[in-house]
Amino acid sequence: MILEKNILNYINSKATYEFDPYYIYDSQKIKDKCRMFQNIAYENKSIHFASMANINPQFLEIVKAEKMNIFVNSLLHLEAVYKVGFRDREIIFTSSALSEKMMKRIESYGAQVNLDSPNQLKLWSKLFPDKSVGIRCNIGDKVTPYSTHAGVFLGKDSRLGFTTDEIEQIADRSNIKGLHLYVGTDIFDINYFINCYQELIKIAVDFPNLEYLNLGGGFGISEKGEKQFDFSEYNILVTKLMNEVSSQKGRSIKLILEPGRIIGGDAGYFVCNVTDIKNRPHKRLVGVNASTVQFSRPLLYPDTANHPVIIIRDGVQLISNETHATTIYGCSTYSRDIFSNKAALPDVKMGDIIVFVNAGSYAASSHMLFLGFPKPNEYFI
Ligand SMILES: Cc1ncc(COP(=O)(O)O)c(C=O)c1O
């Protein structure tokens, strides 16, 4: 994998003897992904960036300037996006197990809310009898749920959403304006998306006041850029589907999407440098001046979060056919502070710069205070 020239130049410009680990983002890549969604042919649509993937204000400003709306799942994120200027229906709030206090707080922002269970709907109807709402649908008994690196999001093994039985039992549907679905994350199989959407559409028939279908996110990004989500095919199929629902309903139904990972995943890079090397009989251990609490995907998903690694030495990307099985570890005392257990790296030297690729989503936003390492700076070019 070859590092783009603009990123390499930036990294070199910051390559002082001892720099702190940081993130760098290619803003143009973020914009391109936003445009991909805005170019979906179906007109009555609203695209909400899933802010859990990246809550940095500069990132949010970029997506806002691209006319994206926003999706949040917590009060802190709601406040963060509010500060950037998102308002009312531009904000979708979907979460679970909301307390009465929290429901009131969320409602006061005027965000569009999707509820997770019959009890939550009961509470909402008691608090806001005249206010419309959406429900999150777990149609997993109608499809074979995909098992993703983050678990399953549909079916009996998922904790989320109304089951189809629970949906059937909703007596008063007059205030339900939207059906929400989240099929899973990092998925490339367009047929799976469409099959799930079709099941949701079957349910939509029984909701007389339906205004929108929220089809969530889940769009895959590949590790080394070897596979691309087939967006043009997706565009055709989702547009066809939405046209069908609208003609079935006799009015235009809004399409809502909540893409997260795909928007900034490949735009972000995590940069640190080599501060120790240990040779063990079966592998080489390379220590860096960063901890996985600063770049947490390898900590949260140790077996499945694979981020390609690029080495820079003296300003140039090191490319070699001869590689060694290498573990890259963090600078704490925590035994699981490991960025990668299966990197195949050339001979690394002290001071080499290490760049983890595909670090733009669910990376900086999952910084933890555990272990005591600061949140890395984030730069946008
Ligand atoms: C309800 C919902 N919508 C959208 C997203 C964004 O998903 P992704 O990053 O897979 O596109 C998530 C992520 O967890 C989610 O829970």
Q: Is residue 211 part of a domain?
A: yes
Residue 252 is given by DSSP the state P
Q: Is 88 left (phi over 0), alpha (psi -120 to 50) or beta?
A: left
Regarding the beta carbon of 50 and ligand 1, being less than 6 Å apart is answered: yes
CB 197 within 8 A of CB 204: no
Euclidean distance between CA atoms 56 and 265, whole angstroms: 14
Q: Is the CB of 257 under 6 A from ligand 1?
A: no
Please identify which residue in the block is written with the tokens 């735009």.
267
Name the residue with the closest Cα to ligand 1, atom 6: 260
- Is the shortest distance between the CB of 216 and ligand 1 below 6 Å? yes
Residues 51 and 72: beta-carbon distance below 8 Å: yes
Q: Which residue has the higher pLDDT, 154 or 179?
A: 179
Q: How many CA within 13 A on the CB side of residue 136?
A: 25
Q: Do 283 and 290 touch, CB atoms closer than 8 A?
A: no
Considering the domain architecture, whether residues 272 and 153 belong to the same structural domain is answered as no
The residue segments making up the domain with residue 323 are 5-25+265-380
Residue 136 Cα: closest atom of ligand 1: 1
Gap from CA of 123 to ligand 1 centroid (Å):
25
Q: Within this chain, do residues 148 and 107 fall inside the same structural domain, yes or no?
A: yes
Say if 81 falls within a structural domain: no
What tokens does 177 get? 């304006």
- Structure-block tokens of residue 147: 């098992």
CA-derived radius of gyration, the chain = 22
Q: Which atom of ligand 1 is nearest to the CA of 217?
A: 11
Q: Are residues 242 and 308 in the same domain?
A: no
Residue 75 inside a domain? The answer is no
pLDDT-based confidence at residue 158 (cuts at 50, 70, 90)? confident
Whether residue 53 has its Cβ less than 6 Å from ligand 1:
yes
**Whether residue 313 sits in one domain with residue 277:** yes
Among 222, 244, 259, which residue terminates a domain?
259
Does one domain contain both 356 and 234? Answer: no
What average pLDDT does the segment 358-375 reach? 97
Q: At what angle do helices 57-65 and 27-38 cross, to 10 degrees?
A: 40
For residue 184, give the ligand 1 atom closest to its CA: 10
Q: Percent of the chain scored above 90 by pLDDT?
A: 87
Q: pLDDT digit string (tens) for 235-282?
A: 999 999 999 999 999 999 999 999 999 999 999 999 999 999 999 988
Q: What SS3 class is residue 60? A: helix
Decide which of 259, 294, 322 is a domain's last residue.
259
Q: Are 296 and 88 in contact (CB under 8 A)?
A: no
In this prediction, residue 150 has a pLDDT band, given cuts at 50, 70 and 90, of: low
Cross-strand pairs, 133? 176
Q: Is the pLDDT of residue 137 over 80?
A: yes
Quick: pLDDT tens for 43-88: 999 999 999 999 999 999 999 999 999 999 999 999 999 999 999 9
Whether residue 249 is contained in a domain is answered as yes
Lowest mean pLDDT among 6-10, 142-146, 327-331: 142-146
| CATH code of the domain containing 338 | 2.40.37.10
Residue 93 and residue 196 share a domain: yes
How many domains, the chain? 2
Tokens 């995943």, located at residue: 265
Residue 202 in any domain: the answer is yes
- Which alpha helices (DSSP H) does 228-357 contain, by range? 231-249, 261-264, 297-300
Structure tokens at 101: 């206090």
Instruction: Tell me 219's DSSP state.
Output: B
Pair (277, 299) in one structural domain? yes
Of 259, 284, 314, the position where a domain reaches its end is 259
> Quick one: 275 and 243 in the same domain?
no
Burial of 156 (0-12, 13-18, 19+ CB in 10 A): exposed
Average pLDDT for residues 194-206, to the nearest whole number? Answer: 96
Q: How far is the CA of 214 from the centre of ligand 1 (A)?
A: 11
Give the per-residue pLDDT at 17: 65
Q: How many A from CA of 70 to the centre of ligand 1?
A: 12
- My answer on whether 232 and 280 are in the same domain is no
Task: Give the residue among 238, 231, 335, 352 at the shortest CA–CA distance from 286.
Answer: 352
User: Which ligand 1 atom lies nearest to the CA of residue 186?
Assistant: 10
- Looking at residue 358, what is its pLDDT? 96
Distance 151 CA to ligand 1 centre (A): 13
User: How far does the centroid of ligand 1 lie from the alpha carbon of residue 359, in Å?
Assistant: 16
- How do residues 90-106 score in pLDDT, each as one tens digit? 999 999 999 999 999 99
**Which of 360, 374, 347 lies closest to 265, judged by CA?**
360
Q: Of all atoms in ligand 1, which is nearest to the CA of residue 153?
A: 16
The answer to whether position 251 is within a domain reads yes
CB-hemisphere CA count at 13 Å for 206? 12
- Based on the domain organization, do 251 and 331 belong to the same domain? no
Q: Tell me, what CATH number does 213's domain have?
A: 3.20.20.10
- In Å, how far from its chain's centre is CA 263? 8
**Residue tagged 């799930």 (tokens):** 196
Residue 337 binned pLDDT confidence (cut-offs 50, 70, 90): very high
- Whether 140 shows a pLDDT value over 90: the answer reads no
Using a 6 Å cutoff on CB, does residue 68 contact ligand 1? no
Tokens 């990092």, residue? 186
Asked whether the predicted pLDDT for residue 288 surpasses 90, the reply is yes
| Residue 65 three-state SS | helix
**Rounded CA gap, 182 and 168, in Å?**
19
Q: H-helix or E-strand containing 107?
A: helix 100-108
Q: Ligand 1 centre and the CA of 345: distance in Å?
A: 33
- Domain assignment present for residue 45? The answer is no
Atom of ligand 1 nearest to the CA of 259: 11
Handedness of CA 338, 340, 344, 350 (dihedral sign): negative
- Whether 291 lines ligand 1, by a CB cut-off of 6 Å, is no
Are residues 120 and 105 part of one domain?
A: yes
Asked if residue 218 and residue 152 are part of one domain, the reply reads: yes
41 is a domain residue = no
Amino acid letter, residue 263: I
